[in-house]
Amino acid sequence: MLTVASDVEVLARFGRALADPIRCRILLALRRAPGYPADLAEALEVSRTRMSNHLACLRDCGLVVTVPDGRRTRYELADARLGHALDHLLASVVAVEADRTCPDAATEDCC
């Protein structure tokens, strides 16, 4: 059953998804075009198992959806506006010191 998440929950889920570099790379790839897990794993140079886990996380966060395609499953952004949001984030300028990390950096594996 689908529910409508609060504004804060939506941002938290998006933030958790973006907190992992592999998930960021997946979202950027899917921003360009839908993809299949095996193809994404090869393109991003990660194992298929790892790709599957990250895609499941992104799906659980509500950021990607699956589309049956014959015997395969294609992944795409859940909403085209997510691609626009990523574009806006990429266009933002953030000043950081190279030797600093975020003190709140989580070690969570998933959303």
Confidence grade of residue 13 (pLDDT, cut at 50, 70, 90): confident
| Distance from C-alpha of 89 to C-alpha of 18, rounded to nearest angstrom | 11
- At 20, the amino acid letter reads D
Identify whether the C-beta of residue 89 lies closer than 8 Å to the C-beta of residue 11.
no
Tell me the pLDDT tens digit for each residue of 79-106: 999 999 999 988 886 776 777 666 655 5
Residue whose tokens read 């990390």? 101
pLDDT band per the 50, 70, 90 thresholds, residue 21: very high
* Model pLDDT, residue 11: 87
User: Do 73 and 36 meet the contact criterion of CB atoms below 8 Å apart?
Assistant: yes
Q: What is the residue whose two structure tokens read 């298929």?
A: 48
| Residue ranges of domains in the chain, CATH in brackets | 9-91 (1.10.10.10)
